[in-house]
Amino acid sequence: MKETDTGVVRITSNNPNQSSFGTGFVFYRNNKGVYIITCAHVLRDIGQALDIRVNGLPVEIVAQGESYGLDIAVLCVKNPNAFLQTASTFIIKSVGHTGKSVCVIGVHEYDKYYRFTKIEGKLGEPFSIEVLNQTSRIRGWDLKVNNGSRIERGYSGSPVIDKNSDVVLGILFAREGENIGGVMSITALKKLDLPADLRAATDPLFNNKESQKDTINNYINFLQNSTLLLRSSISNKTTTAVITAIVSFIFVSLCTLTTMGVAGPIALVVILIPSLILISYLISNVNKEREKMATQKEEIDLLQKELIILEDER
């Protein structure tokens, strides 16, 4: 992944009695200022609009959805400092789907200071988010983080980044414990009432629905082909293990019947033990490949569910 974490910002309150905070990320800039995406509920929790700060700087709320539904907002820092002026700008694109490997960069409290940390995971089961007061829905996914990673308090508003292309495909808006989060598709941005110049600059970044369907179907085909290869591999390994067992048994039996003295035990050591090791190795590999097949079958089912959800997305 590229060094894009300088575009991730801390969103806090200027009120010393307000401890709520969250994460945001730079996605656009023009002569009016630097534009940042975060969650609507981060702003709600902070309170007064005049108190909101991005890396300590005052902001203007450009557009804001509701906290329970269209949980996304856009801020503008009109007088950015040197850091924000040179901060990385994230590219946004609607490329998310179940099975995508992603990383999330968020801010959290560490001892007595704020720390920016990257965690990795995978998009899991898809779901629909209903937009209040609109006849539309947005796609979302469960985020399952890798072992050793944790979703910390303050990660709301973090960019969810495709590990292959470095584009932001969604925004982290919820968490269930430390290992499962909720990701909203970046297409939620299209539901906001954005200024004309900002909408003109961002709309071309979104793939159309047919393009998104093609991406999901291509991934389903990839998984199906992979499953066929695994099935063939399992069959070959199983056959090899059975043949090895039969040949070893016959050979050792003949050695035991036709030889005297230490020849029989030598045959057991030279032939039977290596054969058992090989059979054990093959069985272990077969079990791993069966587990992988089951995981891929589950992913295919979820992707087919996602196609239905995508069809309902308006």
User: Residues with Cβ < 8 Å from 193, sequence gap 6 or more?
Assistant: 63
pLDDT for the residue 269: 67
pLDDT at position 193, please? 86
Low-confidence residues of the chain: pLDDT under 50: 1, 3
Q: In angstroms, what CA-CA distances link 98 with 62, 191, 249, 311?
A: 31, 22, 47, 15
Report the run of H or E that residue 119 belongs to, with start and end. strand 113-130
Q: Which amino acid is at 247?
A: V
**Are the folds of 5-86 and 101-190+201-206 the same?**
yes
The residue whose two tokens read 């003949």 is 254
Q: Domain ranges for the chain, please list them.
A: 5-86, 101-190+201-206, 215-312
CATH no. for 101-190+201-206: 2.40.10.10
State residue 153's pLDDT score.
Answer: 87
* DSSP letter string, 247-273: HHHHHHHHHHHH--TTHHHHHIIIIIH
Tell me the three state secondary structure of residue 10: strand
Kindly report the pTM of this predicted structure.
Answer: 0.80
Residues 100, 114 contacting (CB under 8 angstroms): no
Query: Cβ(6)–Cβ(107) under 8 Å?
Result: no
Sequence-distant (≥ 6) Cβ neighbours of residue 104 within 8 angstroms: 118, 119, 120, 121, 143, 145, 151, 155, 158, 159, 160, 161, 172, 181
CATH number for the 5-86 domain, one of 3.65.10.10, 3.40.50.970, 2.40.10.10, 1.10.3720.10?
2.40.10.10
C-alpha to C-alpha distance for 195 and 27, rounded to whole angstroms: 15
